[in-house]
Chain A
Amino acid sequence: MLTPTLALRSLANRRLATSLTVASIALSVALLVGVEAVRRGVREGFAGTIRNTDLIVGARGGSQQLLLSSVFGIGSPAGSMTWKTYERWSKHAAIAWTIPISLGDSYRGFRLIGTTPEFFERYRFRDDGRITLASGRLLAGESDLVIGSMVAERLGLRLDTAIAVTHGLRGEGIADHDHHLFTVVGILAPTLTPVDRSVFVTLEGITAMHEDPEEEHEEDRANRKDAAGAPQAHSHDAEQESITAFLAGTQNRFESLGLQREMNTDVTEPLTAILPAVALTELWNSIAYAEDGAQIISGAVLLVGLLGMLVALYSTLEERRREMAILRSLGAGPRRIASLLVFESGVLSAAGAVAGMAAAYAVIIAGRGVAEQRFGVWIQVAAPGTLEWAYLIGVVVAGLLVGLLPAWRAYRNALADGLTVRL
């Protein structure tokens, strides 16, 4: 019990050096834990982009392509599927609900999603997050248009604004369908998902948009081929002939895998079905190498922090030879003197680790709102996990190991100096 007391008193006596050392370790631990927490937070936020949907089904193509195009609005879909195929699957015994989506058009850089009003009811993100209206109402008629929060903010759109929608996915209207005007009837509340960057219309609206054959020209045809991959991507009939993809919920979640296989191997029309959770994880892993770099850097910073402690402790040894000799004269063995230094480094690193962890969480919790507003990134804050505790323990163990060096030096000094002190 005496060693801890003595070590603490000694550290308290060197308050400035002690707090600077603790601060430098805390800073590096905060960085390490912070990078990890943000990484995990962003990953969980990312994984929660779409929930409750068991399957996403589109034309035969890559699963990442399907996920990116249908959920994130990135890239173009592999093709389309016939309405007949969609209807057939929606009547499948294992399926509880389906929501068709039709992609391929955009409004001033924001993608247009043709779907049914049920989309807003079924779509879930993160922990049971639901799409809600900030103002107005949801889709009803073919001229209705509902916009995500970012679309409203960036384009300064208000309710009742009448707009024409661009055909294809390019930014500005190469071929505006200005014969069919839509009216903004609803603005959605922020969800921090791609929904915020989307413009929603009904399937009928999509059909109506492409209705007038006079408006069709060569450029448009090529454009569509480009965007949807198949000339029949947009129907010219009043009847919906094809859609791009559909979201599906199963009767029983355990049937998802079997259903996926069934869809992927069906020969009537070649389809690709993905499990969103699995595909999101795959997508994350494919871009995860960037986070390794951040971790390597924070690991290096931690190393610097520990080396700082080593220097701080080591540099006190010379000036502390006198007090070591006094302790020796009082019957303290070289081992107790060494353990004093090991204990000091343990206290420094433990204090630094705890302070750093607290600081990291404080900053994340305080800065979460800013990240949300400025970058549209949702950081899920979770209680420290196994990894964080492992970091803490690792830092303390590393601190103790680092402390062994000055302790060994003090031990040697104690043996060599005995009761004499060379000042």
Chain B
Amino acid sequence: MTPTAERAVVFSDVRFRYRTGSEVLSVDRFEIGTGERVFLHGPSGSGKTTLLGLVAGVLPATAGRVEVLGRALGDLRPSERDAHRGVHIGYLFQLFNLIPWLSVEENIGLPCRLHAARRARLPGGSIERAVAQLAERLAIVPLLGQRVNELSVGQQQRVAAARALIGAPRLVIADEPTSAIDTDLRDRFIELLFSQCAEAGSSLLFVSHDLSLSARFDRSVSLPAINRVTA
């Protein structure tokens, strides 16, 4: 067996069903290596959201073993899984990534305020400095003082990326983050994401149904191919 310490994500014989439903996911083996950039694709209804929920530790596996960054999530209590996600994972949504009643700056710094361990990963423990650095790299410095609802979708996604990347999480999960922005912006956004993940040494799990993106990733995984439950 591969030493799991070198793997960011390891699924072994994972089954999942919602409390009242039939089985939606059955994956014998799924892995993401440390620092690896994985492209996961599949049509809607193929269980992508469920798989991300399992990796993030929001959904508990019905059977099997989900290991994320060396921790078996099944062994953790729900609150420990929440903390594990908050400290070690950066998460990007498809749309509406930002909390409307916080400023841009507060949105970016929020993970470090929610979890002291995430803040401890910042150089000097300074949230302000880390926000400033990320803002500079993502070219969002002028946005910092603006209200969230004044930003364009592309700007929102970059701010959300900054929030996902602050404190150099070991795993970044991106759930179709580019589906709402046009091609030109999309490419630049992916470049930014790649460079930042590389710099922090983060693994990246990128979910999309846009197969044209897959060539840029280290590896491409088709969910219907590994999920034995067919929709």
Write the residues of chain A forming the contact surface with B, with a CB cutoff of 8 angstroms: 2, 6, 9-10, 12-14, 322-323, 325-335, 418-421
Q: Tell me the B58-115 residues at the A interface (CB within 8 Å).
A: 58-59, 78-79, 82-87, 89, 91, 93, 96-102, 106, 110-111, 113-115
- How many Å lie between the Cα of A402 and that of B168 in the bound state? 40
**Which residue of chain B lies nearest to A333 when distances are taken between CB atoms in the complex?**
B82
**Which residue of chain A lies nearest to B110 when distances are taken between CB atoms in the complex?**
A330
- How many Å lie between the Cα of A330 and that of B78 in the bound state? 14
Given the complex, which residues of B lie within 8 Å of A418, measured CB to CB? 53, 56, 58-59
Q: Are A12 and B101 in contact (CB under 8 A)?
A: yes
Q: Tell me the B108-153 residues at the A interface (CB within 8 Å).
A: 110-111, 113-115
Q: Are A333 and B78 in contact (CB under 8 A)?
A: yes
**Which residue of chain B lies nearest to A418 when distances are taken between CB atoms in the complex?**
B58
Q: Are A329 and B100 in contact (CB under 8 A)?
A: no
Q: Are B101 and A13 in contact (CB under 8 A)?
A: yes
Given the complex, which residues of A lie within 8 Å of B86, measured CB to CB? 330-332
Q: Are A419 and B114 in contact (CB under 8 A)?
A: no
- How many Å lie between the Cα of A326 and that of B113 in the bound state? 14
Query: Whole-angstrom distance from the CB of A196 to the nearest CB of chain B?
Result: 59
Given the complex, which residues of B lie within 8 Å of A329, measured CB to CB? 56, 85, 91, 93
- How many Å lie between the Cα of A6 and that of B86 in the bound state? 16
Given the complex, which residues of B lie within 8 Å of A14, measured CB to CB? 101
- How many Å lie between the Cα of A12 and that of B100 in the bound state? 11
In the complex, besides A333-B78, A418-B59, 10 extra interface pairs with C-beta distance below 8 angstroms are: A9-B106, A13-B100, A14-B101, A323-B101, A327-B99, A330-B110, A331-B82, A331-B85, A332-B82, A332-B86
- How many Å lie between the Cα of A331 and that of B83 in the bound state? 5
**Which residue of chain A lies nearest to B113 when distances are taken between CB atoms in the complex?**
A2
Given the complex, which residues of A lie within 8 Å of B101, measured CB to CB? 9-10, 12-14, 323
- How many Å lie between the Cα of A330 and that of B93 in the bound state? 11
Contact of B97 among A9, A326, A328, A335 (CB under 8 A): A326
- How many Å lie between the Cα of A420 and that of B110 in the bound state? 20
Query: Whole-angstrom distance from the CB of B146 to the nearest CB of chain A?
Result: 15
**Which residue of chain B lies nearest to A5 when distances are taken between CB atoms in the complex?**
B113
Contact of B91 among A6, A334, A419, A420 (CB under 8 A): A419
**Which residue of chain A lies nearest to B91 when distances are taken between CB atoms in the complex?**
A329
Q: Are A326 and B111 in contact (CB under 8 A)?
A: no
- How many Å lie between the Cα of A421 and that of B97 in the bound state? 11
- How many Å lie between the Cα of A421 and that of B96 in the bound state? 10
- How many Å lie between the Cα of A418 and that of B98 in the bound state? 16
Q: Is B52 an interface residue (CB 8 A)?
A: yes
Query: Whole-angstrom distance from the CB of B179 to the nearest CB of chain A?
Result: 14
Q: Is B195 an interface residue (CB 8 A)?
A: no
Most chain A CB neighbours (cut-off 10 Å) among B83, B87, B89, B96: B96
In the complex, 11 of the A-B residue pairs with CB atoms within 8 angstroms, ordered by the A residue number, are A9-B102, A13-B101, A323-B99, A328-B82, A330-B110, A331-B84, A332-B82, A418-B58, A419-B91, A420-B49, A420-B53
Q: Are A330 and B53 in contact (CB under 8 A)?
A: no
Given the complex, which residues of B lie within 8 Å of A330, measured CB to CB? 86, 91, 110-111, 114, 163
- How many Å lie between the Cα of A358 and that of B110 in the bound state? 36
Contact of A331 among B93, B102, B114 (CB under 8 A): B114
Given contacts A331-B115, A332-B114, A419-B52, contact A326 B85 (CB under 8 A): no
- How many Å lie between the Cα of A118 and that of B45 in the bound state? 99
- A-B CB proximity, top 8 nearest: A331-B86, A13-B101, A329-B91, A418-B58, A333-B82, A331-B85, A418-B53, A9-B101
- How many Å lie between the Cα of A334 and that of B111 in the bound state? 16
Query: Whole-angstrom distance from the CB of B57 to the nearest CB of chain A?
Result: 9
Query: Whole-angstrom distance from the CB of A363 to the nearest CB of chain B?
Result: 34
- How many Å lie between the Cα of A329 and that of B82 in the bound state? 8
Query: Whole-angstrom distance from the CB of A45 to the nearest CB of chain B?
Result: 49
- How many Å lie between the Cα of A197 and that of B83 in the bound state? 76
Given the complex, which residues of A lie within 8 Å of B84, measured CB to CB? 331
Given the complex, which residues of A lie within 8 Å of B79, measured CB to CB? 333, 335
**Which residue of chain A lies nearest to B89 when distances are taken between CB atoms in the complex?**
A331
Q: Are A323 and B100 in contact (CB under 8 A)?
A: yes
Q: Are A322 and B96 in contact (CB under 8 A)?
A: yes
Query: Whole-angstrom distance from the CB of B229 to the nearest CB of chain A?
Result: 18
- How many Å lie between the Cα of A27 and that of B44 in the bound state? 51
Q: Are A419 and B56 in contact (CB under 8 A)?
A: yes
Query: Whole-angstrom distance from the CB of A315 to the nearest CB of chain B?
Result: 17
- How many Å lie between the Cα of A114 and that of B195 in the bound state? 104
Given the complex, which residues of B lie within 8 Å of A327, measured CB to CB? 99
**Which residue of chain B lies nearest to A420 when distances are taken between CB atoms in the complex?**
B49
Given contacts A419-B58, A419-B91, contact A326 B114 (CB under 8 A): no
Q: Are B98 and A326 in contact (CB under 8 A)?
A: yes
